[in-house]
């Protein structure tokens, strides 16, 4: 009997999750469009065009790192990582100091990230390069499903 990952994750991590991959894809598409139409952008945007190009490269690099992790990881590995990280956040549920709070926030972000990867593993088998989703928006929508 097949188990839906969504149901399993609902038990492990209840609540709403914001998806980092979708945010990267959206920011990348918007920024790329603005750079392609830089002559129609504000003067402030045109002054910062080099930093915008740098940001575009950072987004590509970040997405590629996530893509490699996604494509090389099995569902079992991601569930194990989610479980290990979740156990650490439960242990640190009430931060007592700034260091504990920073650690707890970092672990919570990792839990959300592994949940996101599992969510997408349920929808797609391979994460394609970032330009693929810009050229094929229906694939992006399918991924969000």
- Specify the pLDDT at position 95: 55
Question: Is residue 5 very low, low, confident or very high in pLDDT (cuts 50, 70, 90)?
Answer: very low
pLDDT tens string 7-51: 444 444 444 445 789 999 999 999 999 999 999 989 999 899 999
Long-range contacts of residues 1-9, Cβ cutoff 8 Å, at least 24 apart: 4/122, 5/75, 5/118, 5/119, 5/121, 5/122, 6/119, 6/122, 8/79, 9/82, 9/115, 9/118, 9/119
Region 69-86 average pLDDT? 92
Which one has a higher pLDDT value, 24 or 6? Answer: 24
pLDDT band at 92 (very low <50, low <70, confident <90, very high): low
Structure confidence at residue 3 (pLDDT): 45
Mean pLDDT of 74-88: 90
Which pLDDT value is given to residue 14?
44
* Cα–Cα separations (whole angstroms), residue 1 to 4, 52, 60, 140: 10, 49, 38, 29
Write the burial class of residue 78 (CB in 10 Å: 0-12 exposed, 13-18 middle, 19+ buried): buried
The rounded mean pLDDT for the chain is 83
- Predicted confidence band at 105 (pLDDT cuts at 50, 70, 90)? confident
pTM, to two decimals:
0.78
> Poorest-confidence range of 76-80, 93-97, 106-110, 129-133?
93-97
């Amino acid at each position: 009997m097949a188990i839906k990952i969504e149901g399993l994750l609902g038990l492990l991590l209840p609540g709403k999750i914001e998806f980092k991959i979708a945010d990267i894809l959206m920011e990348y598409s918007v920024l790329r469009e603005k750079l392609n139409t830089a002559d129609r952008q504000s003067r402030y945007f045109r002054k910062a065009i080099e930093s915008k190009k740098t940001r575009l490269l950072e987004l590509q690099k970040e997405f590629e790192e996530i893509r490699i992790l996604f494509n090389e990881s099995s569902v079992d590995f991601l569930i194990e990582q989610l479980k290990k990280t979740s156990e650490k956040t439960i242990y640190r549920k009430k931060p007592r100091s700034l260091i504990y709070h920073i650690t707890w926030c970092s672990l919570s972000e990792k839990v959300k990230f592994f949940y996101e990867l599992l969510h997408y593993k349920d929808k797609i088998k391979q994460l394609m390069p970032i330009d693929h989703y810009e050229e094929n928006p229906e694939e992006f929508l399918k991924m969000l499903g």
